[in-house]
Amino acid sequence: MGMTVVQKILARATGQASVAVGDVVEPAVDLAMSHENGALVMNQFFEVYKNTGHEPKVWDPSKIAIILDHRVPAESAKTATNQKKIREFVAQQGIAKFHDIRGDEGGICHQILPEHGYTRPGQVVVGTDSHTTSHGAVGAFAFGIGATEMAGVWALGSIFNVEVPATIKVVVKGELPQNVLPKDLILHLIGAISAEGANFKVIEFHGAGVKTMSMSGRLTLCNMSVEAGATSGIVPADGETERYLREEAGVTDPLDLVTPDADAEYARVVEIDAATLVPQIACPHTVDNVKPVGSVATVRVQQIVIGSCTNGRLDDLEVAARILRGKRVAKGVRMLVFPASWRIYRQALKQGFLSDLVNAGAVVMNPGCGCCLGVHEGALGDNEVALSTTNRNFKGRMGNPKSEVYLCSPAVAAASALTGVITDPR
């Protein structure tokens, strides 16, 4: 029996010829990522070493990445102190892949990792963030873990007791129509298989619609796979993977483009016809409450958000700028834009997208997670409605349990900013 991409990655990472679904394995970790919650990982890491007689020392400082992104610049003394402790730890342990709150190197962890070529096809990547699934876009087996689990990785370099997951094969036939975007595709999939439809499983993306999709779109697909419960999303590495890593991330090392065997076994195959897809909206308060844009087209919104690890890349900003250029955001609507990294910010600045957005009335914020997780800025008032390109619409997500969040593509968000109601961009 052949193997899926993730089976092949886990076989290599455990030094075996093959692994079967359900095997319990302990793969070596190629990259271990944390953000502000590195402060909790540190706490648990020191706890592990207590009374062992060993000096707390990470297993390999070159394989640990820490990116400050969740609350930047700090919103409180508590956060600022956590960030300070992280800086001290990074210096003391010699962790090189550290991205501080800086305009030259900062951004959201799930953008920084691919952008700097830290994540590669065939790797095992773990992160103390559920959207670590993003890195399946470059062909890595990437999944979210808890802080205590990460303390174990920092100490010993492997991830304990991983059950080899089954895989759902998603085949995207055809190509997306104009102004229907990868975000619509993944929202449609989540709606179709439900928020727990892929729990404990991997989603492997195939088909012409994925083959022709840029890395940015693939990152959106894999990023939101976790919203269907998936351990990871993954796009088998191909020419686009190589192009992105060589041309955009500057990787010069040999790449291991891992692809699945033709006779790999899948738990389920889901086919999607991209050509007939319309813009999709995830309605409050679950991500799988997905409806075609037309059925919610009268909902009035007070805040539009474009950004996050899901949709804060250059092509997302370009779509929004093209729709808003020379026009004005509707009265009574606040539009917040969070580029996913400072590299993207600089590119969007150079290409004029940021001035298009600002001239239309948008507020361009500094790169980071921004208001996505409701902790930092851009909170909603009571009974207000946000339409957002972020990834979660759980009750209270944007800082107020008395508000509502709808999720959409950058095209829908921009078109709706002009009207103040949820609007079909086509």
Q: Tell me the helices (H) and strands (E) count for the chain, helix number first.
A: 14, 18
Tell me the C-alpha distance between 114 and 106, whole Å: 13
Half-sphere exposure of 67 (CA within 13 A, CB side): 30
Segment interacting with other proteins (CB under 8 A) among 13-21, 112-120, 178-186, 389-397: 389-397
CA neighbor of 120 nearest in space, from 31, 52, 23, 48: 31
* Smallest separation, CB 415 to other proteins (Å): 28
Strand order across the beta sheet in which 201-206 lies: 232-234, 201-206, 166-173, 268-273
* Smallest separation, CB 37 to other proteins (Å): 7
Among 87, 211, 268, 395, binds other proteins (CB under 8 A): 395
Residue 247 amino acid letter? E
Segment interacting with other proteins (CB under 8 A) among 167-175, 248-256, 308-316, 393-401: 393-401
CB 165 within 8 A of CB 265: no
* Smallest separation, CB 346 to other proteins (Å): 28
156 sits near other proteins (criterion: CB under 8 A): yes
Tell me the C-alpha distance between 416 and 303, whole Å: 10
15 sits near other proteins (criterion: CB under 8 A): no
Among 16, 62, 76, 92, binds other proteins (CB under 8 A): 76
CB 334 within 8 A of CB 303: yes
111 sits near other proteins (criterion: CB under 8 A): no
199 sits near other proteins (criterion: CB under 8 A): yes
* Bridge partner list, 279: none
16 sits near other proteins (criterion: CB under 8 A): no
Tokens of 289: 């409450």
State which of positions 274-293 bind other proteins (CB under 8 A). 286, 288
79 sits near other proteins (criterion: CB under 8 A): yes
Per CB under 8 A, residues contacting other proteins are 24, 36-37, 39-40, 43-44, 47-55, 70-71, 76, 78-79, 82, 127-130, 132, 144-149, 151-152, 155-156, 160-163, 195-196, 199-200, 229, 231, 286, 288, 373-375, 392, 394-397, 399, 401
